Amino acid sequence: MNILKVSNLRVWDELTGQVIVPNSSFHIKQGNCLSIVGESGSGKSMTCRAIMRLNRGSIRQSGDILFRDVNLAELSDKKIRSLRGKHLCMIMQHGMRAFDPSCVIGVHIRETLAQHYGLNRSESEARMIIAMESVRLKDPAQIMNKYPHQLSGGMLQRIMIALAIVLKPDLIIADEPTTALDAISQYEVVEQLLELRSRMGCAIILVSHDLRIVQKLADEVLVMKAGVIVERGTAQDIFSNARHEYTKYLVSSKLALNKHFHKVMGGTGIVDR
């Protein structure tokens, strides 16, 4: 069964007239991991934010986004807000954007958990502290009292993952969930995502430049170039039997680069473990 079916998604900038995603259609099955790969600027984040209806300013979108049997494209702002977090969770590429800069992390967490689960302060803190420890955030109680700008990008990404663990959404959209992390932490976050999936059966849309992470997690892969899905298939097909020239180029160059990077950094390869 599909948990999400996106049909004829179009995203454009009303101000400049630039069409960012001309016409995308794809789906994801319940409990599966769909990975979106492609070079920088190819429209991966725009696609993710369009699903969540989080694009702001002059960015407009059209098309259907069927989440189970609800068309997210047709929901009021209030209704979509009530689905975000509890049913659809996004781990953002830039952690700073995900949190209100004017309040400490604990306030954001308490408000989110009170809104979706009606948890009181001590319940939400207790659950959150366990989740934060499971993603190896040291001293969670102290982190709750910090403003986002006082934390590193990697810490903010881990907080978003911890929040997802507590919220238990049906779909997690992870846009570069490991960009701000070192090699060991990347490995741990991948393990967390795998566990989230096996423990709660949630579906994952994973955007990553690290094809070794994609290989480890994805069931199916979409390859994007200049806003267009140029190839799609099972992870195995894409990695061993790519048909499109761009995919072949991406797979060979990225895997070689990733391998080199991990060697230079002295990290153990995720796939090698």
Ligand X SMILES: Nc1ncnc2c1ncn2[C@@H]1O[C@H](COP(=O)(O)OP(=O)(O)OP(=O)(O)O)[C@@H](O)[C@H]1O
Residues lying near ligand X in the complex (CB under 6 A): 13, 20, 38, 40-46, 57, 59, 93
46 binds, among ligand X, Mg ion, none (CB under 5 to 8 A by kind): ligand X
Beta bridge partners of 247: none
Nearest to Mg ion of 45, 61 (CB atom): 45
The sign one gets for the Cα dihedral 121, 103, 205, 7 is: positive
For ligand X, the closer of residues 51 and 129 by Cβ is: 51
Picked from ligand X, Mg ion, none, the partner binding residue 216 (CB below 5 to 8 A depending on kind) is none
* Parallel/antiparallel/unpaired status of strands 59-67 and 70-71: antiparallel
d(CA 251, CA 235): 11
Query: At its nearest, how many Å lie between Mg ion and the CB of residue 273?
Result: 26
Residue 8 tokens read as 């004829």
Provide the minimum distance between the beta carbon of 166 and Mg ion in the complex, in angstroms, as a whole number: 25
Q: Which does 40 bind (CB under 5 to 8 A by kind): ligand X, Mg ion, none?
A: ligand X
Residue with the two structure tokens 């993952």: 161
Report, in Å, the least distance between residue 30 CB and ligand X: 25
The smaller minimum CB distance to Mg ion, of residues 39 and 219, is found at 39
Contacts 24+ apart (CB under 8 A), 77-81: 77/53, 80/52, 80/53
In whole angstroms, the minimum distance from the beta carbon of 47 to Mg ion comes to: 9
Binding site for Mg ion (CB under 5 A): 45
Report the C-alpha gap between 68 and 224 in whole angstroms.
24
- Give me the residue whose beta carbon is nearest to Mg ion: 45
Can you tell me whether residue 73 is helix, strand or coil?
Answer: helix
| Torsion angles phi and psi, residue 242, rounded to 5 | -65, 140
Q: Which does 123 bind (CB under 5 to 8 A by kind): ligand X, Mg ion, none?
A: none
CB of 21 or CB of 144, closer to Mg ion:
21
Least distance between Mg ion and beta carbon 94 (Å): 9
Distance CA 266, CA 15 (A): 45
Residue 19 vs 70, nearer CB to ligand X: 19
Looking at the Cβ atoms of 41 and 201, the one nearer to ligand X is 41
- 43 interface partner picked from ligand X, Mg ion, none, CB below 5 to 8 A per type: ligand X
Q: How far is the CB of 175 from ligand X (least distance, A)?
A: 7
Nearer to ligand X, 20 or 51 (CB): 20
CA atoms within 13 A on the CB side of 32: 15
Q: How far is the CB of 144 from Mg ion (least distance, A)?
A: 28
- Chosen from ligand X, Mg ion, none, partner binding at 13 (C-beta under 5 to 8 Å by type): ligand X
Q: Closest Cα partner for 213 from 234, 193, 197, 238?
A: 193
d(CA 157, CA 95): 6
Instruction: Tell me the residue type at 116.
Output: H
